[in-house]
Amino acid sequence: MKNNDLILQASNICKSFSTVEVLHNISFEIERGEILGIIGENGAGKSTMMKILAGIHTPTSGDIYFEGEKVLINKPLDAKKIGISIIPQEFNLINDLSVYDNIFLGSELLLSNRLLNKDEMKKRTRSLLSNLQVEISPDEKIENLSAAEKQMVEISKALAFSSKVLIMDEPTSVLTQHEIDILFDNMRKLKESGLTIIYISHKLKEVKAICDRVLVLRDGDFVLESQVDTISPEEMAKSMVGRELSQVFPEKNTPGDEVVFEVRDLSISGLLENISFTLKKGEILGLGGLVGAGRTEVAEAIMGLREVSTGEIFVNGEKISIKQPRDAVEAGLGYLSEDRQGSGIITSFSVAHNMTLVSLKKYSDNFIQWIDKIRETESSERFRKLFNLKTPSLDTALEFLSGGNQQKVSFSKTLDTQPDILIVDEPTRGIDVSAKQEIYQFINSLARKGLSCIIISSEIEELIGMCNRVVVMHEGKIPGILEENSINEEEIMLYATGLK
Amino acid sequence: MVEVTGIIKKISWQRYASFFALVFLFILSSLLSPYFLKPQNIINIMRQISYTGIIALGMTFVIITAGIDLSVGSVVAFTGAVVVLSMNAMLRVIDSEALVLVLGIPIGILVGGAAGAFNGLMITKGRIAPFIVTLGSMSIFRSLSLYIGDAGEIQSHNTLYGKLGMGSFLFIPVPVWVILILAAVLHLVLNNTRFGRYLCAIGSNQKVAMFSAINVDRIKFYTYTLIGMLVGITAILLASRFNAVSTSNMGLTYELDAIAAVIIGGTAMSGGRGTIWGTVFGAVILGIINNMMNMVGVSPYLQGTVKGLVIIIAVYFQKQKQ
């Protein structure tokens, strides 16, 4: 097994968790300096495979060869020593520490007197960041950074230790198009300098754009290997799900004329400035823009999760006052948060308990707040069928469900209050193609039934495919609202980047 | 079949660990001492644990919200002192001991509840960590009770009050009835009401709870008020047992016993889940350990060491399970 071009080989890797085998005899090879895409649906085993390479999991059987030598990777430090770094999907940064502290965490540079060599660490951080064309001060605290900036810090962290193989798990899920372009430029530069990159993603167009070769995983097996030049995103999708995908986006619904929701002059000092828009009955309104443009802040302000400086909100022409989330829910608003794990679902709660968390009053509308568990279960069962939810039972804790299924539970939770106006923030982030499609179909069918929906999304395709109108935000303002025919990628980007 | 035994191994042990520990201790104790199983001894153990046990029920709720209440011991003394003093004052104008007693009990619950409400307000409106707030109020209420009692004992002049604490109903002492009834009620509250569900939600993930339109502050406020009221009940029962209040000793280190019972009962210190019956078992386990050590003649000075070790071991096993 010696080949000088190969940097990494995995041979017959199997991995079982308790009694379930999630990887079956996986073998693959990676050449030095290539960008290898690994794609597959949620639960296909991509992340598990990568965690084995990074030393987070150990394989049940099988061998790994690095530069021709057999290596044992039993813990993350082993991987780091060999030269394999992973940028996980969920950031692994400490919020209270500065950028340079995080980059050198665990491998701090020391002066001869054993004190921290802060100057050198800052200097190296600065040069790492400027190579990536990011303007972040090394002294900035992580908590003050946007998601995209955190991503760049993660990359710098990996590069700081002369990694030879860099694994990126869904790196673009929190990035906007502009930031993705910068990331790809950087990846190409890194590739030229001899770095090998394993790129895990759901976004097939991106895989097509950046990768040299692609491997498709399905249910723990490799089902396809191909040079990217010779395969289309549609073919990739087909082999991922094992069946033909019909059109991803459903046909748009024509909204009514009646304005059911209006925001007037909403401002939060320093964040939002005079945000005004309307929403018609049955309309799907997109809220686009770059990360940090203030889209989520608009949603949180509407829902009573943020204090506003000025602004009026009208539901069905009537002005309402929203001081806390409960007021918004009672006014018929529902909100699906972008941060599923952080603010959407309780992972230790069961499926049923999550589904009724917002609407619990409905099931316990009596003096002693006694919960009618029979009705609760019935209602949860309805949602389980409606969303084709894959769960062993309604009593299963959410931590045992896949990302796509968790998102369906999160959706059920928001919908169980029967809102007239639904705000969904990045509804398809980090979930696979077929779950995405189900969610699009679902939102569309709700709109047809007269529900009005605001979709906040960083995926321009999603805005174009789903929305009747798109409100584009830039630095806390609305430079433009695009109507039906003028919704296209270019227009959205021009407004989002402040060029128009 | 493999799967079934696997499930039995995983779930049952975790959920019923405190119950198994209790059974084990029970058998061990009955082997170690022939007196252990005598009804009078069992009744004594139950009476002893009921005072801190009642507080531990409330502490279960507090810890489920990922909070803590260190002030309970001091509030016991303070409430006890206020109850005895106000009953004594009422006796000067009201002739009936029974009527004074009936008026005194709600005073105790109110005073305890008010102390808890004070903690709750500081934690929710003041945005101060529960540990800090209740550390402060622990000092405040101990000092206040020392002040109103001149650091000494306050005797009650109501002889009927003394009978309440020593009384029994169907051979079971009054405090034991109280803890059993409260435990049954609070168990239902935790598992079958909206309030109980919200407690777990807040303790699991406060941000999700907030985003789910749950009024987090209000639930927390109620929780601290509730434990205050339970502390008031303990104070009433404890003061009536001696028909007096020792302002310097009453309720001392009760917070430790209450927290220990909760932890041994399997409630996670990180919040989000817990059971009432676990806490009751936890309290009984502590009671049996104390009782056993007395019977086999372990120095009372060393009993704290054993109790401390039991707490640490209980948490160690909790961590291993995760």
Residue B91 Cα, gap to closest chain A Cα (Å): 37
| Rounded CA separation A483/A253 (Å) | 14
Closest by CA to B36, choosing from B296, B278, B265, is B296
Q: Which residues of A touch B (CB under 8 A)?
A: 18-19, 303, 305, 324-326, 328-329, 335, 337, 342-349, 353, 357-358, 360-361, 364, 368-371, 373, 413
Average pLDDT, chain A: 85
- CA distances (Å), origin B212, targets A233, A260, A357, B39, B105: 38, 23, 6, 50, 39
Residue A246 class from Cβ within 10 Å (0-12 exposed, 13-18 middle, 19+ buried)? exposed
Q: What is the DSSP string of A288-344?
A: EE-TTSSHHHHHHHHTTSS--SEEEEEETTEEE--SSHHHHHHTTEEEE-S-IIIII
Strands A6-17 and A318-320: unpaired
B194-204 vs B39-64: helix axis angle to the nearest 10? Answer: 60
User: Which position has the token pair 């990159």?
Assistant: A197
In chain B, % helix, strand, coil (3-state, to 5) comes to 80, 5, 20
| Rounded CA separation A7/A20 (Å) | 30
Strands A84-87 and A165-169: parallel
Q: Which residues face A263 on adjacent strands?
A: A277, A313
Sorting pLDDT into bands at 50, 70 and 90, what band is A213?
very high
Helices (H), A27-174: 46-53, 76-82, 99-103, 118-131, 147-159
Cα torsion A393, A396, A401, A404 to 10°: value is 60
Backbone angles phi, psi at A194, to 5 degrees: 100, 5
**CB spacing of A325 vs B210 below 8 angstroms:** yes
- CA distances (Å), origin A319, targets A260, A261, A264, A276, A314: 11, 10, 10, 14, 4
CB atoms within 10 A of CB B159: 9
Sorting pLDDT into bands at 50, 70 and 90, what band is A80?
confident
pLDDT reading at A328 higher than 80: yes
CA within 13 Å, CB half, B212: 32
Two structure tokens written together for A450: 């007269």
Whole-complex ipTM: 0.81
Q: Which residues contact A140 (CB under 8 A, 6 or more apart)?
A: A98, A99
Task: For residue B309, give the H/E element and its range.
Answer: helix B300-321
Closest by CA to B256, choosing from B59, B107, B119, B35, is B59
* Residue in chain A nearest B207 by alpha carbon: A343
Averaged over A420-447, what is the pLDDT? 86
pLDDT reading at A451 higher than 50: yes
Q: What does the pLDDT profile of chain B (322 residues) look like in tens digits?
A: 445 555 445 555 566 777 888 888 888 888 888 888 888 888 989 999 999 999 999 999 999 999 999 999 999 999 999 999 999 898 888 888 888 888 889 999 999 999 999 999 999 999 999 999 999 999 999 999 999 988 888 888 888 887 887 888 888 899 999 999 999 999 999 999 999 999 999 999 898 998 888 999 999 999 999 999 999 999 999 998 888 888 888 988 899 999 999 998 888 888 888 999 999 999 999 899 888 888 888 888 888 888 888 888 877 877 665 5
**Cross-chain CB nearest to B212 (options A19, A357, A371):** A357
Closest by CA to B318, choosing from B264, B281, B259, is B264
User: Which position has the token pair 């929780």?
Assistant: B223
User: Which position has the token pair 């009671």?
Assistant: B287
| Rounded CA separation A410/A383 (Å) | 11
pLDDT reading at A372 higher than 70: yes
B72-93 vs B254-264: helix axis angle to the nearest 10? Answer: 120
* Distance, C-alpha A64 to centroid of its chain: 30
Entry field: residues in chain A: 500
Residue A269 class from Cβ within 10 Å (0-12 exposed, 13-18 middle, 19+ buried)? exposed
Backbone angles phi, psi at A146, to 5 degrees: -80, 170
Strands A84-87 and A259-268: unpaired
What strands lie across the sheet with A259-268, from one edge to the other? A272-280, A259-268, A310-315, A318-320
Contact A68, A1 (CB under 8 A): yes
What is the reported pLDDT for A1? 39
More reliable by pLDDT, A488 or B205: B205
Determine contact: B4 vs chain A, CB below 8 A: no
Averaged over A140-162, what is the pLDDT? 82
Averaged over A37-53, what is the pLDDT? 82
Closest by CA to B195, choosing from B204, B207, B186, is B186
CA within 13 Å, CB half, A269: 1
Contact A473, A288 (CB under 8 A): yes
Strands A61-66 and A35-39: unpaired
Closest by CA to B5, choosing from A463, B13, A173, is B13
Decide: helix, strand or coil at residue A22.
strand
Averaged over A117-125, what is the pLDDT? 88
Task: For residue A284, give the H/E element and its range.
Answer: strand A284-289
Least confident of A182-191, A378-387, A486-495, B98-107: A486-495
Give, as one character, the DSSP assignment of residue A255: P
Closest by CA to A102, choosing from A129, A145, A76, A141, is A141
Choosing among A348, A374, A376, A409, which should be mutated to test the B contact, i.e. which has the most B CBs within 10 A?
A: A348
**CB spacing of A326 vs B215 below 8 angstroms:** yes
Contact A142, A98 (CB under 8 A): yes
Residue at B168: amino acid letter: S
**Cross-chain CB nearest to A342 (options B3, B195, B207):** B207
Residue B18 Cα, gap to closest chain A Cα (Å): 21
Residues from chain A that touch B192, judged by Cβ atoms under 8 A, are 370-371, 373
Looking at chain B from residue 178 to 207, which residues have their Cβ under 8 Å from any Cβ of chain A?
A: 192-195, 197-198, 200-201, 204-205, 207
**Cross-chain CB nearest to A344 (options B192, B195, B211):** B211
Backbone angles phi, psi at B299, to 5 degrees: -55, 135
Q: Which residues face A370 on adjacent strands?
A: B193
* Residue in chain B nearest A357 by alpha carbon: B212
Q: What is the pTM of this model?
A: 0.77
Q: Which residues face A116 on adjacent strands?
A: A110
Determine contact: B216 vs chain A, CB below 8 A: no
pLDDT reading at A195 higher than 50: yes
CB atoms within 10 A of CB A37: 26
pLDDT reading at A15 higher than 60: yes
**CB spacing of B210 vs A361 below 8 angstroms:** no
